[in-house]
Amino acid sequence: MERDMDQKAVPTNRHTRPHRLEDVTRWDIDTDVAVIGFGAAGSCAAIEARVAGADVHIFEVASAPGGSASWSGGEVYVGGNGGTRIQRAHGFEDSTEDLCTYLMMAGGPGADAARVRLYAENAVGHFDWLEAQGVPFKGTYLPGKWIEPTTDDTLLWSGSEAAWPFSAKAKPAPRGHTAQFKGWGGGKILMEKLCARAEALGAVVHCNSRALSLVVDKDGSVVGVVARIEGETRFVRARKGVILCAGGFIVNREMVERFAPAALACTQVVSGGNDDGSGIRMGMSVGGAAIHMDQFFATIPFFPPESLVKGIFVNARGERFINEDAYHGRVGHYVLRQPEGKAWLLVDNEIFGRPVIQPDIEVAAVGETWEEVERELGLPAGTLVHTVAEFNRNAGNGQDPLFRKAANWLRPLTEPPFAALSYCASELKAHAFTMGGLHTLPSGEVLDADGQPIAGLYAAGRTACGLPRWGEGYSSGMSLGDSTFFGRQAGLAAARR
Amino acid sequence: MERDMDQKAVPTNRHTRPHRLEDVTRWDIDTDVAVIGFGAAGSCAAIEARVAGADVHIFEVASAPGGSASWSGGEVYVGGNGGTRIQRAHGFEDSTEDLCTYLMMAGGPGADAARVRLYAENAVGHFDWLEAQGVPFKGTYLPGKWIEPTTDDTLLWSGSEAAWPFSAKAKPAPRGHTAQFKGWGGGKILMEKLCARAEALGAVVHCNSRALSLVVDKDGSVVGVVARIEGETRFVRARKGVILCAGGFIVNREMVERFAPAALACTQVVSGGNDDGSGIRMGMSVGGAAIHMDQFFATIPFFPPESLVKGIFVNARGERFINEDAYHGRVGHYVLRQPEGKAWLLVDNEIFGRPVIQPDIEVAAVGETWEEVERELGLPAGTLVHTVAEFNRNAGNGQDPLFRKAANWLRPLTEPPFAALSYCASELKAHAFTMGGLHTLPSGEVLDADGQPIAGLYAAGRTACGLPRWGEGYSSGMSLGDSTFFGRQAGLAAARR
């Protein structure tokens, strides 16, 4: 769900300072595992903890379950192991090594090899598990380039797999698996199934329940949580652990300013509304280390129609800066960092269109020649013209020596009139969510700044820093894949403690 | 001081978990203010706290005072208010607004307006204060473009002031003020004077003393510190506060991997050897928020000789990517992010030279024509040739429409033979220190993740996130200017508590 950055929730747990065990005079609820947040990570943590035999109480701040995931497209990024049953059915073999390589590249300089390895080796099993929980996947394949399917199809190309430099190092495969749902918003069905499953297994769900602070014993171990439940302060003992699954912090503008200021360039937040950073802050309050807090997903969905991918982006120097067939979020990050906040998508008459998501996009220049467009944009003489001429000359030969856009997106821009669609900062409607969060082991155990686990504290989903931790490397489905898979690990680890 | 990244100190306070007040059975030392680290920030904090009447004990892990600052160039970035006496003596007026604008740009998207404003309005007074402490400044002006003066001159251009885009928004002035010292390393004299002053004022200095953890009371207030002094564990009561001035974390490879992985591209660390992040970790252990932990200074000192600034950098696309007259650390960040880690500095015979700091630099290609150089580098045909031709054509007219390098550095590269000096990743010797640290108010009060002060805890210097917080925006002297000035604020604030 997208909303304006300033339509933010006002975080009401502004003071997350931990509560000392010796100051707790009563326990209102006594459980093995307390899960904070009933979204993708929280539901899966609860399911696994229940299956492992633990008592589970879930505290969800909203009045209904599902979290931000229920407003999402419902895509899960899985593959490897020869392919999911759906990948294989459509002829896509997908090796674990290729998935691993892709995820390591996608993780950027801070990629977590142990986390990536665990995920890559178990992603197909995880997909099967999601189906076993009742999440429906139609099983069909939707070719082409989409943001999310508007059909109820399953499998799509949801990242930069087929784009340079990823394609040069890992054999591409489509890995976005979307829950069966007609139109945008498959997250709704995904979360309905996962939340229902957690409840069916006996997890006790408290909605309208805001976790306020963690309870710590004299050794610094987390032994419970203080929550505001239906307006009353309640003390919750968690004998095995507290799992923070409370989302990211994109709706908390103060936190964005403090930790991820570059994300302020995005006017739209991707959130169900409660990504106020409370989970991250509670974790930090007991010494948990937050990492990669500057990183965020940012996209400018310049397609569909996919014909626009055949256009070329240029900056104020009249130069290209990215292979336009990369994932739209990767393109978005490159657009955001261009000098003076200026970028345009150049198209010719044959591929002209308006992006579905921004049909009122400003056409900054039109001309019968590229010279006219260059002049109208006020670019240094000859710059854009040279860029287009060189692009056209190479594209005519099916080549893009500078940016290596894949051949199927290469076509000379030679049919007048020509146009430049504006992706300049002043008109940009970029969409963002945060990727930084608590530093955890793949098991979900939260680590302090020394790299030591904090006993009794776990985190998953966007409260943790997971697979998605580098804005430029994101692919659709990674956040849900990460949240559901590592939510499970945290639930298991806590239950077994 | 530069050393190899792997020649790192092994941090021995691996476990910084806080100590509970009720577990302290004795106080070995009782003071108003405990200062952790006797470098630039710590010495100035101690001076101000003593002047304000507080008892001060300083705990320095090394066997001698001075910290990393004593291995530095000893440049302090000051100006504004019409100019320091030295700026004015050499005809440089420098308005507070220009300094403020420059520092805000230099701070990047996360610039701290309150901190910048306080600094800009008081920077001249701070310079006078440094002189009053006994720090010698010769008062002379050294024109040209230097990394650090090898003479004992005072005033130099130490940043990107005269370079686009800074020059377009803030009137340029030289603001690097170097302590009088012949050769590189004026930090030695700076720190001798500041440390001597702190001791003369009665601050009690404990060398060979490693702070291990903070002591907190039941409200989470910091009331002391546990330190290992000359091999013995000592409990230090700090009635007014603990000031963390223990430097950054560039020598702690685990922390760099975790928090600033992009800095791993730099093989050389700028540190006296004890920037192991212990101050930051202690702050985080009691809930202090660390911000901009991904940011770092990174430089590739490609000049002097300054003639090399007239060369042009190109990447694997044969394209330029930065105005080469920007601060060398800004150029460094741009070099580091080029695709495939490839970049070269193109020079012609007239300006050919080898950078003083890397005299064995690899000459990757030489040719009688630019076509030859392009071919030898293996670049796509015509790319480099086009770039040089356009650069030469414009430079001949004193213009650089694409990157706006200032006219005094513009000269067509037309005298064969031509050469490309390699700044490719495999041969790069980039130098780094970290810029992220504890989130503080300008007073030095450490803030938690909710933005609330932690009573009794202060930080300054690279343990805090200060003026320098954006790698691309750094200028020489900013870190020392920040450390000394905000060290003073922290000392004052703690003493007055």
CB atoms within 10 A of CB A52: 17
Question: To the nearest whole percent, how much of chain B has pLDDT over 90?
Answer: 92
Flag whether residue B317 sits within 8 Å of chain A, measured between CB atoms.
yes
* pLDDT tens, position by position, A219-233: 999 999 999 998 899
Flag whether residue B7 sits within 8 Å of chain A, measured between CB atoms.
no
- Of the candidates A300, A215, A196, A236, the one whose C-alpha atom is nearest the C-alpha of residue A35 is A236
Residue A401 is predicted with a pLDDT of 97
pLDDT band at B1 (very low <50, low <70, confident <90, very high): very low
Q: Return the half-sphere exposure (C-beta side, CA atoms, 13 A cut-off) of residue A371.
A: 0
Flag whether residue B277 sits within 8 Å of chain A, measured between CB atoms.
yes
Distance in angstroms (rounded) separating the CA atoms of residues A33 and A491: 8
CB atoms within 10 A of CB A30: 13
- Token pair, residue B414, equals 């037309």
Q: Which residue of B has its CA nearest to A380?
A: B401
What is the number of CB-based contacts under 8 A between chain A and chain B? 131
Residue A1 is predicted with a pLDDT of 44
**Single-letter amino acid code for the residue at B283:** G
Contact flag A448-B17 (C-beta cutoff 8 Å) = yes
Question: Residue B439: is its pLDDT beyond 90?
Answer: yes
* pLDDT tens, position by position, A338-394: 999 999 999 999 999 999 888 899 999 999 999 999 999 999 999 999 999 999 999
Residue A312 is predicted with a pLDDT of 98
How many angstroms separate the first and last alpha carbons of chain A? Answer: 36
* Three-state SS sequence of A43-58: HHHHHHHHHCCCCEEE
- Closest-CA distance, A125 to chain B, in angstroms, reads 29
User: What is the DSSP secondary-structure string of B41-69?
Assistant: HHHHHHHHHHHTT--EEEE-SSSSS-TGG
Residue A15 is predicted with a pLDDT of 85
Partners of residue A386 in chain B, C-beta under 8 Å:
386
Flag whether residue A259 sits within 8 Å of chain B, measured between CB atoms.
yes
Contact at 8 Å (CB) between A313 and A321? yes
* pLDDT tens, position by position, B134-159: 999 999 999 999 988 889 999 999 99
- Closest-CA distance, B192 to chain A, in angstroms, reads 32
- Of the candidates A138, A152, A157, the one whose C-alpha atom is nearest the C-alpha of residue A92 is A157
Contact at 8 Å (CB) between A349 and A368? no
Chain B, 23-42: which have a CB under 8 Å from a chain A CB?
23
- Closest-CA distance, A19 to chain B, in angstroms, reads 9
Q: Which residue of A has its CA nearest to B436?
A: A259
- Domains of chain A are 18-296+433-497 (3.50.50.60), 301-427 (3.90.700.10)
- For chain A, give the mean pLDDT: 95
Question: To the nearest whole percent, how much of chain B has pLDDT over 70?
Answer: 97
Residue A378 is predicted with a pLDDT of 97
User: From the candidates B10, B16, B22, B258, which should be mutated to test the interface with A, based on the most A CB atoms within 10 A?
Assistant: B258
The beta strand positions in B83-219, using DSSP E, are 155-156, 176-178, 204-206, 209-216
Contact at 8 Å (CB) between A458 and A493? yes
Question: Residue B2: is its pLDDT beyond 50?
Answer: no
- Token pair, residue B92, equals 């440089």
* pLDDT tens, position by position, A2-50: 455 554 444 455 789 999 999 999 999 999 999 999 999 999 999 999 9
Partners of residue B104 in chain A, C-beta under 8 Å:
none
pLDDT band at A403 (very low <50, low <70, confident <90, very high): very high
Out of B23, B289, B386, closest to residue A386 by CB: B386
pLDDT band at B61 (very low <50, low <70, confident <90, very high): very high
φ, ψ for residue A124 (rounded to 5)? -70, -40
- Closest-CA distance, A102 to chain B, in angstroms, reads 16
User: From the candidates A164, A218, A258, A391, which should be mutated to test the interface with B, based on the most B CB atoms within 10 A?
Assistant: A258
Question: Residue B9: is its pLDDT beyond 60?
Answer: no
φ, ψ for residue A336 (rounded to 5)? -65, -25
- Closest-CA distance, B211 to chain A, in angstroms, reads 14
The beta strand positions in A307-397, using DSSP E, are 312-315, 343-347, 363-367
Partners of residue B293 in chain A, C-beta under 8 Å:
291, 293-294
Contact flag A289-B258 (C-beta cutoff 8 Å) = yes
Contact at 8 Å (CB) between B327 and B474? yes
Distances (CA, A) of B286 to A17, B95, B219, B279: 10, 40, 11, 11
Contact flag B339-A264 (C-beta cutoff 8 Å) = no
User: What is the DSSP secondary-structure string of A65-120?
Assistant: S-TGGGGS--EEE---TT--HHHHHTT----HHHHHHHHHHHTGGG--HHHHHHHH
- Mean pLDDT of the region B163-188: 96
A234 strand-pairing partners: A227
* pLDDT tens, position by position, B331-351: 999 999 999 999 999 999 999
Question: Residue B11: is its pLDDT beyond 60?
Answer: no
CB atoms within 10 A of CB B174: 23
Chain B, 399-458: which have a CB under 8 Å from a chain A CB?
401-403, 439, 448-452
User: From the candidates A21, A218, A222, A293, which should be mutated to test the interface with B, based on the most B CB atoms within 10 A?
Assistant: A293
In what side-by-side order are the strands of the sheet with B363-367? B312-315, B343-347, B418-422, B363-367
Flag whether residue B380 sits within 8 Å of chain A, measured between CB atoms.
yes
Contact flag A285-B386 (C-beta cutoff 8 Å) = no
Question: Residue A125: is its pLDDT beyond 80?
Answer: yes
CA angle, B114 then B448 then B68, to 5°: 70
* pLDDT tens, position by position, B376-400: 999 999 999 999 999 999 999 999 9
- Mean pLDDT of the region A249-272: 96
Q: Which residue of A has its CA nearest to B21?
A: A218
- Closest-CA distance, A234 to chain B, in angstroms, reads 20
